[in-house]
Chains A and B, each alone.
Chain A
């Protein structure tokens, strides 16, 4: 195969690769944002003083962090159809779709990781600041909203950025449930053109570029939140 032929092939399939990139970005984007909202009650519960509040978030986090995303995806996509109840339920039109299954699994998966980041961040808030807030007459709830959470968000931000990139890479498994994300498009093109190395290389480059862009974006966000300034205690 000559370079001209290769180039022509890349140009021909570029729109499809672009669509795949959009699918990946969409899945990751929705999962990490919705996951963050799920993670807040989980992380707060996990940092609770009472064991009965801690227990449920703890087991949730343990399960989702202790098993592979691929397995969780299969559990949702193939596994749930085993139950007649699920197939009769109103959610079935969604749970039958690979897209929704991937989105649900990724959200639940990343929520567990983000919750753990949040717990670490909450526990890293200097206790003196919480005590100071309480001494100023703030209620527990006020201290949580005005002191603990804003502080924890800044402490946890760099770890959250890492989690987004980890999710981007983990999202490559969704092609196994027939979704056409970057990896799915590449596998389709592998089968159609019998070209393996070239498309793997292109996929690698696409992921690398997205990773780089995300890293830079998170640097901007960190600067905007003044993460550095709030770090020296």
Chain B
């Protein structure tokens, strides 16, 4: 469940991050404002608060929304709330990573695309995105590792992930240390696996490039 939650949040976060970065470097001032507001507000408030807010803070809104569809008891499930909260936070940090990566691409590439008569979307898809991926990967990898640990916060809204399971087992057996320590080992194991995977991704993305070495 921890893995599923983290993957769902990353998917949402990457989308928000790309949108946020495009907004932040856009030429329109209101869009830049929205992007700046998003990153500074989300990054200035604890993840814990976002998780609780996404779960408890949306009940009345969801009930109101549900009443229009004939279901006045509509609420977000812990999984949905957790994904939204963690995705929101991941997106805010990813915005900065993508922005840095976008700025590192030379504008000549985009202009070359334009000169070849490609549409904006096509330029983004065929020219910008493949290069963006390579530059942004190390930053995004770090963010993913941080977010993996934030998934433990979703146990506070009773989603049955690693932390919550450990809590239940600890209460049932009266051996809290044993089970919390096992949970810690699971997180460490996941971290090691993800670090390995990221290393491989970076290796793949960097084929054909020489690395700056000191």
Which chain A residues have a beta carbon within 8 Å of chain B's beta carbons?
62-63, 66-72, 74-75, 78-83, 168-173, 175-176, 183, 187, 190, 196-197, 200, 203-204, 207-208, 211-212
Verify B188–A75 contact, CB threshold 8 A: no
Cβ-based interface call for B115 (8 A): no
Q: A78-B170, A79-B177, A190-B56 are in contact. Are A67 and B184 (CB under 8 A)?
A: yes
Residue of A nearest to B192 (CB): A66
Verify A75–B178 contact, CB threshold 8 A: no
Query: Which range holds the interface residue count of chain B?
Result: 35 or more
Cβ-based interface call for B176 (8 A): yes
Verify A68–B163 contact, CB threshold 8 A: yes
Across the interface, which residues of A come within 8 angstroms of B191, CB to CB?
A: 66
Residue of A nearest to B60 (CB): A197
Q: A63-B184, A83-B177, A196-B59 are in contact. Are A68 and B149 (CB under 8 A)?
A: yes
Partner of B57, one of A69, A71, A183, A196: A196
- B25-78 residues with Cβ-Cβ distance < 8 A to A are 41, 44-49, 52-53, 56-57, 59-60
Partner of B45, one of A66, A187, A208: A208
Verify A169–B46 contact, CB threshold 8 A: yes
Q: How far is the CB of A116 from chain B (nearest CB, A)?
A: 12
Residue of B nearest to A204 (CB): B45
Most buried by A among B46, B60, B153: B46
Verify B149–A203 contact, CB threshold 8 A: no
Partner of B49, one of A68, A81, A203, A212: A203
Q: State the total of A-B contacts with C-beta under 8 angstroms.
A: 107
Verify B176–A70 contact, CB threshold 8 A: no
CA distance A35 to B188 in the complex (A): 22
Across the interface, which residues of B come within 8 angstroms of A172, CB to CB?
A: 46-49
Extra contacts, 5 of them, besides A79-B170, A200-B57 (Cβ < 8 A), are: A70-B156, A83-B177, A197-B60, A204-B45, A204-B49
Q: How far is the CB of B167 from chain A (nearest CB, A)?
A: 7
Verify A79–B44 contact, CB threshold 8 A: no
Verify A71–B46 contact, CB threshold 8 A: no
Across the interface, which residues of B come within 8 angstroms of A200, CB to CB?
A: 49, 52-53, 56-57
Verify A71–B180 contact, CB threshold 8 A: yes
Across the interface, which residues of B come within 8 angstroms of A211, CB to CB?
A: 44
CA distance A83 to B152 in the complex (A): 25
Verify B44–A74 contact, CB threshold 8 A: no
Cβ-based interface call for B128 (8 A): no
CA distance A74 to B155 in the complex (A): 12
Q: A82-B175, A82-B177, A173-B153 are in contact. Are A70 and B163 (CB under 8 A)?
A: yes
Verify A196–B56 contact, CB threshold 8 A: yes
Verify B177–A212 contact, CB threshold 8 A: no
A interface footprint on B152-173 (CB within 8 Å = 1, 0 otherwise): 1101100000010011001000
Cβ-based interface call for B183 (8 A): yes
CA distance A228 to B52 in the complex (A): 40
Across the interface, which residues of B come within 8 angstroms of A170, CB to CB?
A: 46
Q: How far is the CB of A199 from chain B (nearest CB, A)?
A: 9
Q: A83-B177, A183-B46, A212-B44 are in contact. Are A71 and B188 (CB under 8 A)?
A: no
Verify B188–A62 contact, CB threshold 8 A: yes
Across the interface, which residues of B come within 8 angstroms of A190, CB to CB?
A: 56
Across the interface, which residues of A come within 8 angstroms of B151, CB to CB?
A: 68
Residue of B nearest to A72 (CB): B184
Most buried by B among A67, A78, A183, A190: A67
Across the interface, which residues of B come within 8 angstroms of A67, CB to CB?
A: 149, 183-184, 187-188
Across the interface, which residues of A come within 8 angstroms of B49, CB to CB?
A: 172, 183, 200, 203-204, 207
Across the interface, which residues of A come within 8 angstroms of B59, CB to CB?
A: 196
* 11 A-B interface contacts by CB (under 8 A): A67-B187, A68-B149, A68-B187, A70-B155, A71-B166, A74-B167, A78-B176, A172-B48, A173-B153, A183-B48, A187-B52
Verify A207–B150 contact, CB threshold 8 A: no
Verify A79–B57 contact, CB threshold 8 A: no
Across the interface, which residues of A come within 8 angstroms of B46, CB to CB?
A: 168-172, 183, 207
